[in-house]
Structure 1
Amino acid sequence: MQRTAVAIRHIHFEDLGVFAPVLSEAGFSIRYRDLDAAPFATLDPLEPDLLVVLGGPVGACETDAYPYLADEQAILAARLAAGRPTLGVCLGAQLMARALGVEVAPMRRKEIGFSPISLTDAGRVGPLRRLAGIPVLHWHGDAFQIPEGAENLAATPLCPTQAFSLGVHALALQFHPEVDVTAGIERWLTGHAAELASAGIDPRGLRDQAAQAGPELAIAARAMLTEWLAGLGLSAR
């Protein structure tokens, strides 16, 4: 039977990017769940072999304004309690943190742009070691705390909690290793134009950073995901 990977997608261009071919090669059938499809609450939290919750331009705490976020947290709480393979990216990682009972709060300023992460001791011996020294894309204004029982894997000077793992089944990434900057950076720059303008960030600088970092980041991100899947026993058959 073919493996299933469900990716919750909040905005169309924040997709699986370079992760998609890795999942296909590992034998996964990929299915997106978008905001305009069936409500997230109808998703069986335990059914997919892998659940990926992607990024988006809303805050994980804005459940009153965006009620579907509460549905996602409930799905994640059930899935994480059951030890089912789960990957969160940016907003997805923040929702995982809230589902595990810890705070997500605004940072002193937004972190947007390409820069390397510093790995903790735990990060250096796991899949994130593939990203050591490589600029990754940061695009967030909030940060999570590390849940009880989880391991902090990475930091930057602005954000000391860039990733955490819970056992081998759950990985939360505040940054964006998945973005395919060679194919999709213009969608990001245009889709988030208002946010860039309000933060005083010139898209030309981000475009230049993407051109420099993109090829190496894509290779490293694919290797990272491949290693994480192997640790779950979900590598290519």
Structure 2
Amino acid sequence: MPTIKITVWNEYRHERLNEEVQAIYPEGIHAALASYLNTQEDMEARTAVLDEPEHGLTAEVLEQTDVLLWWGHLAHDEVSDEVVKKVRQRVLDGMGLIVLHSGHNSKIFHALMGTNTGALKWRDDGEKERIWVIEPGHPIAQGLGQYVEIPKEEMYGERFEIPAPDELIFISWFEGGEVFRSGCCYKRGQGNIFYFRPGHETFPVYHQPEVLQVISNSVRWAAKSGHIQVSYGRVAPLELIR
């Protein structure tokens, strides 16, 4: 089985500025996720952060990445438009992309969705979230029960300004009554994209086994893009033109 090459990208700001977040993710969210993914026999994960040159996403890194995970929140506007352009093209060429939690408002998600994906309802009261599995036969839902329950989370609520997903895998219900499309699959060019909602920085969501299971499942699903060579431009006719 070929090894899936993964880059986990994180702006890495909350963990350095907020002691509460630092206590949960002392090495950063990116390090926690990469550490987990590196326990999987078929995966090899590296990390990249905002304050590195080219945000750690050089042409060479992107070329060697099968699947890119993206977590951002405080500093979406600091991400270079040139880097976003490179990442978008790699997705169109077949790199998988997993957009996590507040990455819904990232430049790259905007660019690939074509809408104001930052438009949604939210509330940070630490309420229970129940993520309902509505496509139990999908590879991203492999190994899960009927739902995943997160004891304390930030609420995101509909209306979520996204295009209709190609496949909707999860719908979240929150203790305060709202619902949210929290597991959305898209195809853009040759690349598979998955948006996965949970992961607010002040709660230990990325230490929860079921959440990590979804992330590793989604990496395997996203890595299956981009293996078909597609030709564009002017071509010779297949049949004789009379």
1:170-226 deviations in Å (ceiling 9; x for gaps): 2111221xx8xxxxxxxx55xxxxxxxxxxxxxxxx6xxx6xxx79x6221232233
Whole-Å Cα distance in 2 between the matches of residues 136 and 71 of structure 1?
39
1:115-152 deviations in Å (ceiling 9; x for gaps): 22443634x43324727141166447798533355333
Task: Indicate the residue corresponding to 1:227 in structure 2.
Answer: 217
Whole-Å Cα distance in 2 between the matches of residues 223 and 118 of structure 1?
13
Q: Report the TM-score, using the length of structure 1 for normalisation.
A: 0.62
Q: 1:5 deviation in Å? A: 1.6
Indicate conservation of the 8 Å contact 2:6/2:66, yes or no.
yes
Indicate conservation of the 8 Å contact 1:54/1:89, yes or no.
yes
Which of 185, 194, 211 is equivalent to 1:171?
Answer: 194
Q: 1:6 deviation in Å? A: 1.3
Whole-Å Cα distance in 1 between the matches of residues 141 and 105 of structure 2?
18
Whole-Å Cα distance in 2 between the matches of residues 50 and 70 of structure 1?
20
Which of 26, 45, 51 is equivalent to 1:36?
Answer: 51
1:28-58 deviations in Å (ceiling 9; x for gaps): 3332212221123852244312211123334
Which of 54, 58, 65 is equivalent to 1:48?
Answer: 65
Task: Indicate the residue corresponding to 1:150 in structure 2.
Answer: 166
Higher helix share: 1
Uncovered stretches (5+) of structure 1, i.e. residues with no partner? 180-187, 190-205
| Alignment length (residue pairs) | 194
Whole-Å Cα distance in 1 between the matches of residues 30 and 179 of structure 2?
24
Uncovered stretches (5+) of structure 2, i.e. residues with no partner? 16-27, 225-242
Change (3 A) 1:164 1:149: closer
Is the radius of gyration larger for structure 1 or structure 2?
2
Amino acid of the structure 1 residue aligned with 2:8: A
Whole-Å Cα distance in 2 between the matches of residues 17 and 112 of structure 1?
24
Change (3 A) 1:109 1:149: closer
Amino acid of the structure 2 residue aligned with 1:6: T
What RMSD, in angstroms, separates the aligned Cα atoms of the two structures? 3.7
Q: 1:10 deviation in Å? A: 0.5
Write out aligned runs for 1:102-181 (5 A): 102-119=115-132, 121-122=134-135, 124-126=136-138, 127-128=140-141, 130=144, 132-135=147-150, 138-139=153-154, 144-147=160-163, 150-153=166-169, 154-156=171-173, 157-158=177-178, 160-167=180-187, 169-176=192-199
Whole-Å Cα distance in 2 between the matches of residues 158 and 119 of structure 1?
13
Whole-Å Cα distance in 1 between the matches of residues 208 and 33 of structure 2?
6
Change (3 A) 1:73 1:219: same
Q: Report the TM-score, using the length of structure 2 for normalisation.
A: 0.61
Indicate conservation of the 8 Å contact 1:113/1:138, yes or no.
yes
Indicate conservation of the 8 Å contact 1:54/1:88, yes or no.
yes
Higher strand share: 2
Change (3 A) 1:103 1:151: farther
Change (3 A) 1:56 1:162: same
Indicate conservation of the 8 Å contact 1:53/1:92, yes or no.
yes
Q: 1:165 deviation in Å? A: 1.0
Whole-Å Cα distance in 2 between the matches of residues 3 and 109 of structure 1?
34
Task: Indicate the residue corresponding to 1:10 in structure 2.
Answer: 11
Change (3 A) 1:69 1:88: farther
Matched, 1:80 2:91: yes
Change (3 A) 1:69 1:163: farther
